[in-house]
Amino acid sequence: MKTTSVSADRFTIDNVRARLLAPSGGPADRIIQIRRNPISGRTSRIAFSRADEKEAGADRLPAAPPDAGETAHCPFCRPQVLVRTPRMISQLHPDGRMTRGDSLLFPNLFPYGPYSAVSLFDNTHFVEIGTAATGTYTDCLINCADYLRRVQRHDPVATFMAITQNHLPSAGGSMVHPHLQIHADRIGANHQRFLVDRARDYQRGSQGGMLGDYAAQEIETGDRYIGSTGPWEWMAAFAPEGFFEVWAVYPGRTSLLTLDESEWGCLADGMIRIQKLYRSLHRNGYNFGLFSMETPQSALELRAVMLVRANYAPWTRSDHTGFEVMLGDMATFSAPEETARMARAFWPQQGAIGHP
């Protein structure tokens, strides 16, 4: 039963009361907040009564993964990285791989699109959350941007661009060795297409940008605003779609290809800070995402998103990566026809149960 509704500007909260009888027999009320994202219009729910539940594996930071020291078998560790990873076509880079500081970038051996790539931070096989040097992130991000500029020159129509990260298998990472994923495509993913349209529609009726105005409202109220790192404004998401979701908005900037080294360094600084927050909460897995539409008429300002994933403690791999969480396209690993073929083995033959 809905009891109250609170709206401030575009930030809407509905408080819902669930009434039930406790195991003791007495009445008990539980309050749930339903929040509407001012950017996307999507709703999320906050079930406050579950805050006291004990989350398995989150009472302390989990131990390192079992293969944290197995560098000899990791295809991203040197020296095997130079023989076990692919090289990009000469039209993109004559050397086949790109370096920036200790960062090494090369094509994704299992691509999601025509220009999927991987950018390593350095030769460190396993890095505890929140302990990386800001400079390693800065170099890696700049390496990604340099690669995307090359893609733009090679294929100007591949305007939907993104940088994502899956830290540890619980966040969808297939490799413990830390790295970023880079995407460029002519066909935008669901999140990209949707937000590009929303930003364009918003701009038609406003003097400002959609995300810039959002950030200004958050800064003014201060309820969820965290602080800034250079031009990036950091805030907790009003209507989170993941645990401890944090946004970094760059008001007025729509192209990640135009960021200079200091601006990438400011983003890296904030990323490490948020990692330290997650570490203090005894979380070790997270996703990161930053995307843009690289056209002169794009109204979508830059926004980086970070959110916690289930702890990588039971040593299982999640079926969601940054591609699904940040871009909105589910990525499975076999054709539906192949899935159906394998599943038929578990159904009795139709004739055996009387069907024609």
pLDDT digits (tens, 9 = 90+) for 299-354: 999 999 988 888 887 655 554 567 666 766 645 453 444 443 534 455 365 433 33
The secondary structure of residue 200, as a DSSP letter, is H
High-pLDDT (> 90) share of the chain, %? 53
pLDDT at 7: 33
**Residue 107 pLDDT more than 60?**
yes
Residue 179 belongs to some domain of the structure = yes
Long-range contacts of residues 130-134, Cβ cutoff 8 Å, at least 24 apart: 130/272, 130/275, 130/276, 130/278, 130/279, 132/178, 132/272, 132/275, 134/265, 134/268, 134/269, 134/272
Omega before residue 79 within 30° of 0, cis: yes
Q: What's this model's pTM, rounded to 2 decimal places? A: 0.85
Closest CA to 301 of 228, 244, 227, 251: 251
Would you place residue 44 in the very low, low, confident or very high pLDDT band (cuts 50, 70, 90)? confident
- Residue 321 CA to residue 332 CA, distance in Å, equals 10
Q: Which of helix, strand or coil describes residue 1?
A: coil
Q: Helix crossing, 210-221 with 190-204: angle to 10°?
A: 80
Would you place residue 46 in the very low, low, confident or very high pLDDT band (cuts 50, 70, 90)? confident
Question: Are 36 and 108 members of one domain?
Answer: no
Residue 356 belongs to some domain of the structure = no
**Residue 6 pLDDT more than 50?**
no
Question: Are 18 and 101 members of one domain?
Answer: no
Residue 15 belongs to some domain of the structure = yes
Give me the chain's average pLDDT, please. Answer: 85
Question: Are 167 and 124 members of one domain?
Answer: yes
Tens of pLDDT, residues 184-222 = 999 999 999 999 999 999 999 888 899 999 999 988 888
Residue 258 belongs to some domain of the structure = yes
CB 249 within 8 A of CB 212: yes
**Residue 118 pLDDT more than 80?**
yes
Question: Are 93 and 160 members of one domain?
Answer: yes
Q: For residue 315, what is the domain's CATH number? A: 3.30.428.10
CA distances from 295 to 253, 272, 298 (A): 12, 30, 5
pLDDT at 329: 60
pLDDT at 281: 81
**Size of the chain in residues:** 356
Question: Are 12 and 117 members of one domain?
Answer: no
pLDDT at 62: 87
Question: Are 92 and 134 members of one domain?
Answer: yes
Work out whether strand 27-36 and strand 11-21 pair parallel, antiparallel, or are unpaired.
antiparallel
For residues 168-188, give the mean pLDDT: 93
Which residues are CB-contacts of 195 (< 8 A; sequence separation ≥ 6)?
39, 40, 300
pLDDT at 324: 62
For residues 276-299, give the mean pLDDT: 92
Residue 198 belongs to some domain of the structure = yes
Question: Are 214 and 166 members of one domain?
Answer: yes
Question: Are 30 and 82 members of one domain?
Answer: no
Residue 35 belongs to some domain of the structure = yes
pLDDT at 111: 94
Q: How many Cα atoms sit within 13 Å of 87 on the Cβ side? A: 10
pLDDT at 134: 95
**Residue 23 pLDDT more than 60?**
yes
311: left (phi over 0), alpha (psi -120 to 50) or beta: beta
pLDDT at 312: 85
Residue matched to tokens 């966040």: 171
Tens of pLDDT, residues 52-95 = 767 667 788 888 888 888 899 999 999 999 999 999 999 999 99
**Residue 259 pLDDT more than 60?**
yes
pLDDT at 331: 57
Residue 272 belongs to some domain of the structure = yes
Question: Are 229 and 283 members of one domain?
Answer: yes
CA distances from 40 to 85, 211, 338 (A): 38, 11, 35
Residue 78 belongs to some domain of the structure = yes
CB 279 within 8 A of CB 129: yes
Would you place residue 10 in the very low, low, confident or very high pLDDT band (cuts 50, 70, 90)? confident
Tens of pLDDT, residues 227-237 = 899 999 998 88
Question: Are 178 and 250 members of one domain?
Answer: yes
Domain count across the chain: 2
- Residue 290 CA to residue 326 CA, distance in Å, equals 8
**Residue 37 lies in domain:** 2-49
Closest CA to 324 of 147, 162, 196: 162
Tens of pLDDT, residues 131-149 = 999 999 999 999 999 999 9
Question: Are 41 and 148 members of one domain?
Answer: no
Question: Are 14 and 150 members of one domain?
Answer: no
Residue matched to tokens 């200079």: 260
